[in-house]
Structure 1
C-alpha cells in the first residue's frame, strides 16, 4: 500500500494545541434504552452488522457488475470496495483512528461514495456537510464534532474550498488534515490529494483483511448528519450502523428497489434523502447501480436517464416542477425507463403531483421525513388520491407516531397537530446537545420535528406546515434564529424577524422584517447580503426580501408574532401579483 503523508507548509505554522476535552462519541450520544434496544434486536430490526459488512457482502456476490457511474468513470462492485478498503488503510496512515471525525464537504461524485465507504470501514465518522456551506457553518460543524480532518473540492462554482479549509485548519486546534480533490501538482502543498487517498491499492487481499479487522461496533456512529436547525446553527444527528441499516432496508422496500434498479443521484448526496432513503446507500445495499450527477438541470438529467437507463430518481419539489415543465416543452421519450420519481424535502403541491406520472411516465412517491429518523412515503400501489394528496405513512412497522395539540394531548385523526415519533432508526437525542434535547424530545424518547400534520384514517399524513421557526427554501432548512442573529451585524437594526414567504417554485423563500434604530439609515437588501457575504454564510441563507417597518407585532406574552408577519408578506405578494395582472 502506498503511504499517504500529510503535507506540510513551507513556513512554520503557529504552535497549536488540541482540545483538552475530547469527546468520545459515546459520551455525547443518547442511546436507546436497553430494553428497547433488546426488543429491536429480537425482532431483527437491528442486525448487529456494520454497513461495511452488509455492503461488502452484496459486492462479493456481483464483483463485475457496475456499482457507481460518474461521467466517464465506471466502478464495478469489486473496484468500488477495493478502493474503499485501500482508502480506509490510508486514513489510518494519516493518523485517523476509530471514532475520529472527518468533515465531508464533497460534491456529488464517485469520490464522495468511496470516501464515505472508507470511513464506514475504518470506523472514522464522516460529518456530512453541504457544498453550499461556508466559514460560518463549517467552523461550527468542525468545532462541535471536533473533526480532525476535512475533505473538500479544490474549487467549486468559483469558490475556493481548499483555501477556506486551510484557514479553518489554522484556526481550529483539532483540525489537522485537509483532504482535497485533485492531483498533488495542482493542490496546495499542505493538502492531502484525495486522488492518492482513493486510488486503487496494491494488494487487494491484505487491504481487505486489514479493513475487515477494523470493524467498528454496530452500535457506534456510522455518520453524523446535520439538522435543519430551528434554534441557531445545525445540530449533529448520530446515525449508528444498526439504525441506518434499518433505515435503508425499510426505505428500499417501500421504493420496490432491486438489483435491477439504476438510481440517479442529483441532489447533494450528504442530505439524508438522497443518501439513504433509499438513495445511494440503499441502491448499493440491494446490488443496484448508482449514477452520480452534480446538477439536476433537466437537460443533463434527462440525457443521463436515457443513457444509463435510470429507473429511480429523487427530487425536491422545485426540481420536479422544472422536470415537468421541460418535458412538456420538449417532449420525447428520454424518461421512458424512469419508473419512480421520489419527491421530498418539502411538500409537493397537489397540482404538480398530479402531473408527474402523466408527463414524466414515472410513478410518484412522495417522501416526508427527517434526518433525525422517521421517514414516511406513499406506496407505489397506492390509489391516486393517496399518491397525489398525501405525504405517505411510516416506512417501518416499528415506527411510532403521535399527533399532539399545543397542550401535549393526542388529537383524533383528521385534526391538525404536531408530529412526534420514535422507532428503530430515530435517535433519542442530538449529539452533545443536552439542553436542546430537553426541548426537542418528550419523556419516553418522542422526537418532535416541528411539522404540523393531519393523519387520515388510513394512516397517511398530510403536511400542513411547521410549528417551529424554520424556513424551508426548496428543501434547504434555514433557522430564523440564525438569520436574525446575523442581521444585527449591520449595526443599524434594532430588532429583526425572519419568516417564510410563499413561493410557487421553491415552496418558501426567506423574508426579513426589520426595525431600524432611531437616527440610523435603513439598510437595503444589498446591504444585508453584503454582511452575509462577509460572514461567509451559505448562499441559500441570504434573505430574498427585506421589509423595513416601524414596529413588529407582538403576542400577549411579549414575543414577536410571526404568524401575523407571514400573513402580511403573503398579502403583499398577492397585491403585487394582482397589480401586475392589471
Structure 2
C-alpha cells in the first residue's frame, strides 16, 4: 500500500512497541502456521457445515491462497469481502493475509450504495459474497459491481455461484508467496460511525495481532475457551474478541447464523460454549428466553456485553438469569478497546464499561477546547497506543479533524474515568439534546426509564422544535400494559429527575431501527418521527 494511503506510527513509538514485546513482527500467515504446528488436531472453527482443526484451517488457507493466486489476484490488490458467519470467511481471511491482498471487510447488511463505494474507492479487483443471505440475493448485487466498477474482475460466491465462481472450487496446490511486512496494513475495517459512508480503518499485522493477544489476556482465555460469535463476524469486536483472541489462546471459535435464542441456545448446549459477546438488546432477549428454555447453558463462564452502553438496571439481571459472569466491554475499529478483569468487583462491573487492554494505552479526557478535564469529570475521550490507528485510509482532510496534532484519536465518546482507570461512557459528543439551552444526556434518561416496570427498552432522542431547538422524545418498547407519557413523567419525578429533563413526547414502538452492529439508530428514529 502506498505510504500516502495510510498513516504509520512515528518511528519512536513503533520502536517502543517492538522493544516492549507488543509488536511481534510476525504476519498473520505465519501466525496460523505456527498455531497449526502447535495444536494440530485441536478444533479451531465450528460452523453449521464445517468443523475444522487448526491443521485443517491452515491447509485450507494455503490452498485457497494458491487458488486465488492462480485466478490472478496478487499482493497489493484490494478485495471486498462481504460474507456472513461462515467457516469460509475465516479461511479466506488467512488466505488473503498470506497472499498479501488487502481485504475490505464489509457487512452482510450493506447494499449497493456502500458496496459500490468500497469497490470504487479502493479500486477492488474482486468481491466475495454469499449466494442468498436473509432473503437477499448477493449475486445480483455482485453482477452490478462487475458491470459498473472498472477495476472489478472477479466475483466469488460462498454457496451456489450462479454464473460466478464458487468459493469452494478455488483450490490449488500451495505455491511460494512473497513474505509479508508485519508493519504494513493487513486489512481495512469499517469505522463505527452511524452517519454517511463508513471510513476505512487500516490495521497492520503488528497492531491487530497485538490487540487480539491483549484481549485474550484481559478475558482470561485459554485452550479450554469455546467462544460463540452470534453478531456479524465482520465487525472488529467479533474479529478481535472472538476470532483473534480465541486463536491466540488455542481455543475454539464457534460461528452461529443468528443471536436468536432458538438458534444460539442449542449451540451453547451442544458445543459447551464458555464465552460469547452481545449487544444490550440481545442480552435482554436472552434474559427473557431463559424463563422458558430447556437448553443447558451451564457451560457459560462469561458473557461480554458492549457495542453500546449497558444500562445498570439491565446489567443487574444478567448474572442471575444466565448463570455466568457479566463482563462489560468497549471498543472501536480504530483500535482502543477495554474489558473488565476477573478481579473487578461487582460495583465496577455494573457501573463501568471496562479497563483498556494495554498498559501502553494512553487516554485523555478533554473539554471542547482540548483541555484535560479534572479527574472524574466527563469529557471527550482521546486515545493513542500500540493498536489505535494514526489515520484513516485515504482521508487526509478528515484525519486533520479526527486526530490531534500529537496523534491522539478523537473518539467522539463522552466518558469519565474512575480512580481505578475504568471507563464510564456517558454518551456521544453529539448525542445530547439541547432543549432551550439546557443540555440533556439521552443515556441518563434511558437508564431511569428502563427501571419502569412497563418499559422493556427505550431510546431517547431530540426532535426539532422551532421554539426550543429540540424537544425530548422517549421511544419505548412496552412491557405488558402500555405506559402513558404522564406515567413516565411521574416516575421520573419520583426518581428525582430535574424538570427540564422530562420527556415532552412518548412514542410506543414494537422495535427500534438498528445499525449493522445492532445498535439503536437514533438518526433513523429522528428521521421517522420528525
* TM-score interval, smaller chain: 0.7 to 0.9
User: What is the aligned counterpart of 1:578 among 484, 487, 499?
Assistant: 484
Deviation at 1:64, TM superposition (A): 1.1
Q: Is structure 2 residue 45 aligned with structure 1 residue 68?
A: yes
1:106 and 1:333 mapped to 2: Cα distance?
29
Higher relative contact order (CA 8 A, sep 6+): 1
Which residue pairs with 1:170 in the alignment?
147
2:265 touches 2:295 (CA, 8 Å); kept in 1? no
Which residue pairs with 1:463 in the alignment?
425
2:64 aligned counterpart, secondary structure? helix
Cα deviation, 1:309-367, whole Å, max 9, x if unaligned, reads 1011010111111111111x125562101101111100111122122222211211111
2:414 aligned counterpart, secondary structure? strand
Q: CA 1:571–1:124 in structure 2 vs 1: closer, same or farther (change >3 Å)?
A: closer
2:474 aligned counterpart, secondary structure? helix
2:91 and 2:209 mapped to 1: Cα distance?
18
Which residue pairs with 1:450 in the alignment?
412
Deviation at 1:214, TM superposition (A): 3.0
Cα deviation, 1:109-132, whole Å, max 9, x if unaligned, reads 101111111111111111110000
User: What is the aligned counterpart of 2:215 among 231, 247, 251?
Assistant: 251
1:67 aligned counterpart, secondary structure? strand
1:230 touches 1:468 (CA, 8 Å); kept in 2? no
Deviation at 1:507, TM superposition (A): 6.2
1:509 and 1:572 mapped to 2: Cα distance?
9
Unpaired segments ≥5 residues, structure 2:
434-441, 451-455, 489-530
1:175 aligned counterpart, secondary structure? coil
Q: Is structure 2 residue 472 aligned with structure 1 residue 568?
A: yes
Alignment root-mean-square deviation, CA: 2.5
Q: Is structure 2 residue 115 aligned with structure 1 residue 153?
A: no
Unpaired segments ≥5 residues, structure 1:
1-23, 472-498, 514-548, 554-560
Cα deviation, 1:237-276, whole Å, max 9, x if unaligned, reads 0000000011011100011011111110111001011111
Which residue pairs with 1:282 in the alignment?
245
Which residue pairs with 2:437 in the alignment?
none
1:570 aligned counterpart, secondary structure? strand
1:59 touches 1:287 (CA, 8 Å); kept in 2? no
Q: Is structure 2 residue 260 aligned with structure 1 residue 356?
A: no
1:358 and 1:571 mapped to 2: Cα distance?
28
Q: Is structure 2 residue 15 aligned with structure 1 residue 38?
A: yes
Which residue pairs with 1:92 in the alignment?
69
Q: List, as ranges, runs of 4+ consecutive aligned residues in structure 1 with deviation greater than 3 Å.
A: 468-471, 499-513, 570-574, 579-582
Which residue pairs with 1:192 in the alignment?
165
Q: Is structure 2 residue 280 aligned with structure 1 residue 317?
A: yes
TM-score normalised to structure 1 length: 0.76
Q: CA 1:402–1:579 in structure 2 vs 1: closer, same or farther (change >3 Å)?
A: closer
Q: CA 1:372–1:507 in structure 2 vs 1: closer, same or farther (change >3 Å)?
A: farther
2:131 and 2:461 mapped to 1: Cα distance?
30
Which residue pairs with 1:222 in the alignment?
186
2:286 and 2:71 mapped to 1: Cα distance?
43
Q: Is structure 2 residue 105 aligned with structure 1 residue 132?
A: no
Deviation at 1:27, TM superposition (A): 2.5
1:96 and 1:48 mapped to 2: Cα distance?
25
